[in-house]
């Protein structure tokens, strides 16, 4: 498989950018001027003594891949990932449970007071799993803000995996800047029963929830009696604050602790520096200001106190250490530029491929392949457009060896050093494509020393290209009219005439299918190095191009005489070997007479003489 050079360059640039970004994100402790342990963290996080206050992390540097822990109050949370750029920590958590293996609340109430962390309100949700539970908690900063949801289900059949819409599972958004989570559980059925009983007795009493596993004195007893599944497996209630995009509800989550796998539960904590805004922090204590890199900027995160730092535009890395923000600069620009170029190159290649395939089908490529395969003596091949473009140096003007109303002929050199002639017509008559394909297949079988060999064609361009053997000595017309001072000897002229007649006789009588040239003239007779005549420009090259008119041909007097004679014979439907050879006598008269100003009578006499000579040669 050929890999474009641009793709290789793109990969190299990408590796450089990755190296630059990785070195920026994982700051070498030497940048801080400290000899930190092998547990490497992005500052402001780090082991005690090598971190900012409140961002202490513990780990075992002697164990590779050992877990790292974040100390928040009295709890330690296992760290899953840290984002310096977005200001969050992803931790692993367990759920608070009620009425599971123990008839009380066990759990994971969490307080983030006194830490730089808050529960992320954009990534987390309160989630309750139960068939008979209402869970709520208050925001300690504002007692008027209470969050909760009800999870209820009358039977197992009503619970649907994946759906957390209130039947067996419910979710609720959490307040912005929440710092503590202290769940309170209520039994929905008991609450309804107690409310109904109190209503009947007309003595309403407030229901006090179970908080932290204890009932308040004087409060009515709330007993959780959820409906059982069909297999009588007891159910329990669970509640947690977790990253909602990483949790999918399952009915099995409602079973005992033994069936509960919470190792994949993650919770996201947002963090910020201090409790002041950027401006306040700069004014109060510049030495304690966290955005210390000269290429860093400060911003205030929405909905909470404190500030965060980022690298300025055009830089990336860690803004909390000196030298942490490093220029993306030309490497990223080059990456984007080269990536765009590569995508453009790929799309262009795909478009060209589709276009070439379209032209190939439109120009009868499949039909020609079938003809060449079925022909026993066919030697022609189908060239690709890339082969011919390389052979002609992109169809350079320097490679043009002939030009006319029909189109242009180019000289080409194949990789095996074979010299070829490529005929590129101007226009194409699509109604004649099948005839063109048939003629190519027939002409590819002709192997005569006095007929220009058709080597093949290319069908991947809008107009089919014909590939012939290269004849280096020009046309007979060129030698007669453009080199008057260089007279061809009589013997050579006679031999040329005989070779033309022999070629026509072969085409008419010895080819597998008779081929009538119909356009034999001195401009269509080529001469090689030894002045051997080769008949060219017949059949296929004249069927496909639809770009020549009678007005463009401008025949001479002797051509008019011969054409009139040929037309008369064609109208009588006597197109025989004699009529074709008499048509061919027109170029035969050229090498013998030289003079282009003969009268019609003189030309006629010469033609009759040449007719007799060519018949003898043909026999």
Listing DSSP states for 374-441 in one string gives H-SS---EEEPHHHHHHHTTTT-GGGEEEE-SSEEEEEEE-TT--EEEEEEES---GGGHHHHHHHHH
| 529: number of Cβ within 10 Å | 8
What per-residue confidence (pLDDT) applies to 544? 34
Do both 503 and 458 map to the same domain? no
By DSSP bridging, strand 69-72 and strand 57-58 are antiparallel
Angle at which helices 577-593 and 600-618 pack, to 10 degrees?
120
Return the ∠ at Cα 283 (arms to 281 and 285), rounded to 5°: 65
Give the active site residues: 519
**Contacts of 412 by beta carbon, 8 Å cutoff, 6+ apart:** 388, 391, 392, 399, 419, 420, 421, 422, 467
Do both 415 and 516 map to the same domain? no
Do both 496 and 446 map to the same domain? no
Do both 467 and 484 map to the same domain? no
Listing DSSP states for 209-239 in one string gives PEETTBPPTTSPP----PPPPTT-----EEE
What per-residue confidence (pLDDT) applies to 37? 44
Q: Is residue 277 part of a domain?
A: no
Contact 133, 148 (CB under 8 A): no
Please state the pTM of the whole predicted model.
Answer: 0.47
Please give the backbone phi and psi of residue 529, each rounded to the nearest 5 degrees, phi first.
Answer: -60, -35
Do both 528 and 419 map to the same domain? no
Domain-ending residue, one of 262, 285, 308: 262
Q: Is residue 126 part of a domain?
A: yes
Overall number of domains in the chain: 3
Distance CA 374, CA 115 (A): 85
By DSSP bridging, strand 400-403 and strand 325-327 are unpaired
Do both 505 and 599 map to the same domain? yes
Work out whether the CA dihedral 585, 591, 592, 598 comes out positive or negative: positive
Listing DSSP states for 464-492 in one string gives -EEEEE--TT-BHHHHHHS-TTSPPPHHH
**Contacts of 214 by beta carbon, 8 Å cutoff, 6+ apart:** none
Do both 487 and 383 map to the same domain? no
**Contacts of 501 by beta carbon, 8 Å cutoff, 6+ apart:** 581, 584, 588, 613, 614, 617, 618
Domain-ending residue, one of 450, 471, 492: 471
CATH number at residue 386: 3.30.200.20
What per-residue confidence (pLDDT) applies to 484? 64
Instruction: Give the residue numbers spanning the domain of 502.
Output: 480-535+555-619
How does pLDDT run across 238-272, given as a tens digit for each residue?
888 999 888 888 888 877 654 455 566 899 999 99
What per-residue confidence (pLDDT) applies to 118? 92
What per-residue confidence (pLDDT) applies to 311? 92
Q: Is residue 193 part of a domain?
A: yes
Domain-ending residue, one of 449, 471, 493: 471
Enumerate residue ranges in the chain where pLDDT < 70.
Answer: 1-39, 63-65, 101-108, 140-145, 194-235, 256-264, 285, 329-333, 371-379, 404-406, 427-432, 434-436, 438-439, 483-485, 511-512, 538-619
SS3 406: coil
What per-residue confidence (pLDDT) applies to 41? 80
Do both 428 and 497 map to the same domain? no
Q: Is residue 500 part of a domain?
A: yes
Q: Tell me how far apart the 2 most distant CA atoms of the chain are, in Å.
A: 141
Annotated binding site for ATP: 423
CATH number at residue 506: 1.10.510.10
Do both 484 and 525 map to the same domain? yes
Do both 489 and 465 map to the same domain? no
What per-residue confidence (pLDDT) applies to 614? 47
Return the ∠ at Cα 390 (arms to 388 and 396), rounded to 5°: 90
Tokens matching residue 90: 């992803």
How does pLDDT run across 140-179, given as a tens digit for each residue?
666 666 788 999 888 778 888 888 888 989 999 998 888 8
Annotated binding site: 423
């Amino acid at each position: 498989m050929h890999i474009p050079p641009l793709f290789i360059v793109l990969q190299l640039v990408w590796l450089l950018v990755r190296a630059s970004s990785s070195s920026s994100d994982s700051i070498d402790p030497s940048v801080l001027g400290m000899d930190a342990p092998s547990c490497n963290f992005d500052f402001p996080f780090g082991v005690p003594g090598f971190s900012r206050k409140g961002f202490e992390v513990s780990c075992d540097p002697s164990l590779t891949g050992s877990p790292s822990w974040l100390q928040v109050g009295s709890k330690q949370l296992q760290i899953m990932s840290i984002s310096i750029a977005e200001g969050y920590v992803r931790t692993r958590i367990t759920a608070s449970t009620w009425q599971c293996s123990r008839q009380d609340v066990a759990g994971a109430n969490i307080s983030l007071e006194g830490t730089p962390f808050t529960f992320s309100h954009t990534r987390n949700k309160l989630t309750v799993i139960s068939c008979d539970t209402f869970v709520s908690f208050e925001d300690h900063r504002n007692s008027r803000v209470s969050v909760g949801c009800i999870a209820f289900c009358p039977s197992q059949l009503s619970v649907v995996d994946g759906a957390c819409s209130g039947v067996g599972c419910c979710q609720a958004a959490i307040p912005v800047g929440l710092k503590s989570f202290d769940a309170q559980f209520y039994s929905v059925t008991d609450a309804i029963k107690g409310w109904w009983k109190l209503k009947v007795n007309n003595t309403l009493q407030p229901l006090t929830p179970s908080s932290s596993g204890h009932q308040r004195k004087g409060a009515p007893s709330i007993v959780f009696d959820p409906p059982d599944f069909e297999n009588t497996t007891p159910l329990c209630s669970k509640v947690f604050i977790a990253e909602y995009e990483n949790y999918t509800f399952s009915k099995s989550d409602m079973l005992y602790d033994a069936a509960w796998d919470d190792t994949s539960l993650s919770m996201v904590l947002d963090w910020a520096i201090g409790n002041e805004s950027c401006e306040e922090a700069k004014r109060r204590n510049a030495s304690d200001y966290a955005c210390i890199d000269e290429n860093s900027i400060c911003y205030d995160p929405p909905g909470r106190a404190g500030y965060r730092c980022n690298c300025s535009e055009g830089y990336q890395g860690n803004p909390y250490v000196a030298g942490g923000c490093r220029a993306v600069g030309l490497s990223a620009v080059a990456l984007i530029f080269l990536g765009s170029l590569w995508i453009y190159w790929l799309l262009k290649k795909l478009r060209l491929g589709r276009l070439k395939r379209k032209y190939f089908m439109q120009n009868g490529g499949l039909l020609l392949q079938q003809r060449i395969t079925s022909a026993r003596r066919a030697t022609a091949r189908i060239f690709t457009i890339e082969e011919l473009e390389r052979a002609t140096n992109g169809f350079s003007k320097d490679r043009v060896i002939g030009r006319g109303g029909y189109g242009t002929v180019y000289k080409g050199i194949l990789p095996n050093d074979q010299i070829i002639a490529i005929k590129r017509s101007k226009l194409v008559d699509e109604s004649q494509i099948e005839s063109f394909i048939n003629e190519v297949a027939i002409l590819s079988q002709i192997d005569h020393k006095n007929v220009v060999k058709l080597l093949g064609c290319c069908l991947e361009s809008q107009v089919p290209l014909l590939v012939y053997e290269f004849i280096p000595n020009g046309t007979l017309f060129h030698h007669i009219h453009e080199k008057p001072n260089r007279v061809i000897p009589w013997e050579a002229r006679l031999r040329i005439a005989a070779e033309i007649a022999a070629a026509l006789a072969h085409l008419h009588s010895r080819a597998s299918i008779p081929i009538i040239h119909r356009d034999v003239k001195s401009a269509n007779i080529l001469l090689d190095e030894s002045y051997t005549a080769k008949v060219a420009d017949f059949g296929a090259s004249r069927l496909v191009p639809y770009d020549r008119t009678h007005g463009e041909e401008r025949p001479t007097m002797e051509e008019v005489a011969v054409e009139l004679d040929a037309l008369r014979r064609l109208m009588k439907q006597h197109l025989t070997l004699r009529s074709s050879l008499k048509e061919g006598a027109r170029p035969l008269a050229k090498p013998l007479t030289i003079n282009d100003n003969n009268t019609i009578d003189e030309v006629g006499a010469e033609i009759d003489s040449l007719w007799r000579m060519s018949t003898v040669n043909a026999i």
